[in-house]
Amino acid sequence: MMTAIELSRASAKLQRNCRTSPYLTYHEITEGESKYLYGISRRQFKEHLRCVQRLATVNCSGPNLLHITFDDGHVSQYDQAFSALQELSMKATFFVTAGWTGKRPGYMTWEQLAELARCGHEVQSHGWSHTLLTRCSVKELQIELSRSKSDLEDHLGAKVNAISLPGGRWNTRVLEACRESGYEQVFTSDPWMVSEDVMGLQIAGRWMVTRNMNAQRIHFLLEGKGATLYLLRARHFAKETAKLVFGDSAYRSLWRMLANKDKSQEDARIASDSARRPQA
């Protein structure tokens, strides 16, 4: 458990860091409104894209400084988000769970990923089975990192050098394994982590976009301005503290309740994850 001194030190560190990540991360893009916290309607997604486009133009920051990313490889990213990106001539990075590709209902196929790559989008790794990397043995880590990388490279014929960490969990052992597996960039779920070089890797945080974020809020987040940021920073810190205090499984139950994630669906996913977990 985190001590009061550690909490106050972490809080002070957080207060000092006022810059925010230029990366936005989406999970599911739905045709209509969604009750799922990480489900964004296509209409809302397009408003976000226009906002990113405006900011890139106004700040002359260019498309390389503001990024749209996706995690998991849900099929709605192909069905709904892909055409919206094409309509606005914008590129994105798709971090996919390689072991789910073409196998798990509701997730993209290799043909769909190949089409994204052909149209100039990047396809990178989100691990092999979405297992939290901090819980993996040395051998499991190797499978999660190397197998996902080589499978994506073999199927898509493009270099994979970036990974987004499942559940945003990491430690120095995970970073070392990422570097040894040939990754150059590692993406976390911490929006307060501005891109930096750590242990020979470039590490960057990202904003996890939720359905209650309108285009104006996205504008504030990317500009690093506004009272909303203080609120979000406090919420993020509370979430991180909850993970440390309650542990991963209790936190996951809490998250499921708060995110309106269907319990039976999630339980099936966890059971399936265990069944598909690579052999140690």
CB of 6 to Zn ion, least distance (A): 27
Tell how strand 201-204 and strand 196-198 pair up. antiparallel
Nearer to Zn ion, 112 or 129 (CB): 129
Nearer to Zn ion, 72 or 240 (CB): 72
Buried b / exposed e along 34-44 (16+ C-beta atoms within 10 A): bebbbbbbbeb
Instruction: Output DSSP code: residue 19.
Output: -
CB of 130 to Zn ion, least distance (A): 6
Residues 67, 230: Cα–Cα separation, whole Å: 22
Binding site for Zn ion (CB under 5 A): 71-72, 166
CA distances from 187 to 37, 85, 112, 167, 214 (A): 21, 21, 23, 11, 23
Nearer to Zn ion, 136 or 229 (CB): 136
CB of 168 to Zn ion, least distance (A): 8
Nearer to Zn ion, 164 or 181 (CB): 164
Six-digit token string for 66: 């503001």
Nearer to Zn ion, 71 or 240 (CB): 71
Instruction: Report the candidate in 222, 126, 200, 198 with the shortest Cα–Cα distance to residue 169.
Output: 126
CB of 28 to Zn ion, least distance (A): 11
Cβ of 63: how many Cβ atoms within 10 Å? Answer: 13
CB of 154 to Zn ion, least distance (A): 22
